[in-house]
Structure 1
Amino acid sequence: MAKTINNDPNEMSFLDHLEELRWHLIRSTLAIVIVACVAFMAREFIFDIVLFGPKKMDFPTYRFFCKIATFFGVDSEFCADSLPFTIQNRTMAGQFSAHIWTSIWAGFIIAFPYVLWELWKFISPGLHENERKHSRGFILVASLLFFLGVLFGYYVVAPLSINFLGTYQVSKEVLNEIDISSFIATVRASVIACGVMFELPIVIFFLTKVGLVTPEILKKYRKIALVIVLILSAIITPPDVTSQIVVSIPVLILYQVSIYISKIVVKREAKKEKANAK
């Protein structure tokens, strides 16, 4: 590809940046595909143990809530022997399609740290040395938050959603025979949505760095943020108050942590400005 002539030999043109971005995207996609191929071959583990785990009543979340209900002497659906619904496939290529797309999403989740690393390699040359120094833990922290969100979605949001929606009936005349694509979509939405929501401190960090967000703004709109969190909780969880509260609590904690992170960033930027003014 022809390169634009620059006055600075070390400066890249716009087309050079696009070419660089293209290769980062290619390597990220290749990593996802490789992990997806491994997940594709581990079909029994991915489906029988991981994906269909929340359908079985011996799932850790159900046992935990059952013990709580037993302790307080309350009857609970979490103590049932099985969930009253079946998973079925209605299309010729339904199971194969579910296998392919589940493997791809598994590849994305597992390869997420590498995708972040490729993103960081693309944006880090545009940062100052001090900014790179203060952002060294970006990949580790962002990956940790993402996986914490994925685990929270899998062990809390997904089983609560499956237990509520799978047992809900408008009439005993209507049987719950859940299509495999619908079941997988419920688990996937719970896991991915929580993984993304747990990245809130990282998002606030960068928004504060570019001056779009300040601690004062976050405090001022705390009540609005609470409403937004409850709306998001209602979207990714079944429409019962308990599930929404369970999901909203960690997000509100992350919001408070984000305010603290924003304060740190603002203080560092103020110190940097003072140092440059001298």
Structure 2
Amino acid sequence: MTANEMSVVDHLYELRKRLIICVISISSVAFYTYYKVNYLLNILMKPIAKFNLSLVYFRLTEGFVTKLEVCLIAGLIITSPIIMYEILAFVRVGLTRGEKKFLYKNFFILFSLFILGIIFGYTMILPHSLSFLISYGSTYLKPVLNGSTYFNFIGIFCLYTGIMFLIPYVLAILGKFSLISSRILRKKQIPVMLGVLVVEGVLLPSVDFLTFAVAASPVLFMYEVSIWVIYFNERRKRRRENVPSNSRKGFKNRGK
């Protein structure tokens, strides 16, 4: 009983340690980014540069708080390799040596997919979404953009696309460890499609349905790919399990 209690305490201590490292990393990068934030703001303003719009604020503290929010989101993205590593370091305690090796081999792929999702969202989806929304609204309204709302929208949008790009590959890893099967994923396909749209509706409430479809299509495509990857891995695994028994039968037949 004491050993179990100590193991739980050690587990919580490890979690606390990993969280502290993540918080310190994000805070340090955000603090450094604050002094360079104007360069970042100029980059974030490019999607609406052609509209010649000026961002406004409505509260005295909003200008300061908005810069802090941008720095925190930038810190979260920049330190994403550290965050992913700390998550893997926390999870590895309950894994075998082979599973640890497999996870660390896939670390670079996970990070690359996250960055690819952010770049895809910022370059391919966001400009068209903003262009449609501003052009449509300006036909009968005069656009006045709140700076805090605009920058938060971009930050959440990019984080969303980055995380969505991770999900299919994570499913493939779970399938590799036999924690999930292609049959289950196939049954959950329609709920997953609806779930992706619901998440988009919560995180991106002001975009149109066409933007929803464009943002969801790569995620759903990768989800479908992950189903087939898991399916072929399951077939390969079944073949490997059947080979020893068949070979033993062959030896017996030869002996006879």
TM-score range, shorter chain: 0.7 to 0.9
Instruction: Give 3-state SS (helix, strand or coil) of 1:136's partner.
Output: helix
Confirm or deny: 8 A CA contact 2:115 2:162 kept in the other structure.
Answer: yes
Work out whether 1:186 is the aligned partner of 2:153.
Answer: yes
CA distance in 1 between partners of 2:236 and 2:20 (Å): 35
Q: Deviations over 1:223-264 (max 9, x none)?
A: 4444444555566372143x3332232112211221134235
Q: Deviations over 1:205-228 (max 9, x none)?
A: 354356553112223343444444
Confirm or deny: 8 A CA contact 2:172 2:227 kept in the other structure.
Answer: no
CA shift in 2, pair 1:270/1:41, >3 Å: farther
Deviates more, 1:199-208 or 1:87-96: 199-208
CA distance in 2 between partners of 1:46 and 1:228 (Å): 32
CA apart distance, 1:192: 1.0
CA shift in 2, pair 1:267/1:40, >3 Å: farther
Work out whether 1:147 is the aligned partner of 2:115.
Answer: yes
Quote the residue 2:94 is aligned against: 126
Instruction: Write the mapping of 1:108-257 to structure 2, written as runs, cut at 5 A.
Output: 108-169=76-137, 172=140, 174-208=141-175, 213-232=180-199, 236=204, 238-241=207-210, 243-257=211-225
CA-atom RMSD in angstroms:
3.1
TM-score, reference length from structure 1: 0.75
CA distance in 2 between partners of 1:203 and 1:84 (Å): 41
CA distance in 1 between partners of 2:31 and 2:228 (Å): 41
CA distance in 1 between partners of 2:175 and 2:31 (Å): 39
CA shift in 2, pair 1:134/1:270, >3 Å: farther
Q: Deviations over 1:74-104 (max 9, x none)?
A: xxxxxxxxx2643101110111001111101
CA distance in 2 between partners of 1:201 and 1:177 (Å): 38
Deviates more, 1:227-236 or 1:214-223: 227-236
Equivalent of 2:49 in 53, 56, 59: 56
Confirm or deny: 8 A CA contact 1:84 1:166 kept in the other structure.
Answer: no
CA shift in 2, pair 1:191/1:130, >3 Å: same
Q: Which runs of 5+ in 2 are unaligned?
A: 246-256
CA distance in 2 between partners of 1:261 and 1:132 (Å): 21
Confirm or deny: 8 A CA contact 2:171 2:180 kept in the other structure.
Answer: yes
CA shift in 2, pair 1:108/1:148, >3 Å: same
CA shift in 2, pair 1:226/1:122, >3 Å: closer
Q: Deviations over 1:134-193 (max 9, x none)?
A: 222232111111111111111123222221222333863x32111111111221121011
Quote the residue 1:78 is aligned against: none
The amino acid of 2:207's aligned partner reads P
Confirm or deny: 8 A CA contact 1:85 1:167 kept in the other structure.
Answer: no
CA apart distance, 1:127: 0.5
Quote the residue 2:248 is aligned against: none
What is the aligned-residue identity percentage?
27
Work out whether 1:45 is the aligned partner of 2:39.
Answer: yes
The amino acid of 1:45's aligned partner reads Y
Quote the residue 1:23 is aligned against: 17
CA shift in 2, pair 1:270/1:25, >3 Å: farther
CA distance in 1 between partners of 2:111 and 2:46 (Å): 24
Deviates more, 1:195-204 or 1:226-235: 226-235
Count how many residue pairs are aligned between Structure 1 and Structure 2: 243
Equivalent of 1:105 in 73, 96, 106: 73
CA shift in 2, pair 1:89/1:19, >3 Å: same
CA apart distance, 1:130: 2.0
CA shift in 2, pair 1:233/1:26, >3 Å: closer
CA shift in 2, pair 1:163/1:257, >3 Å: same
Q: Which runs of 5+ in 1 are unaligned?
A: 58-82
TM-score, reference length from structure 2: 0.81
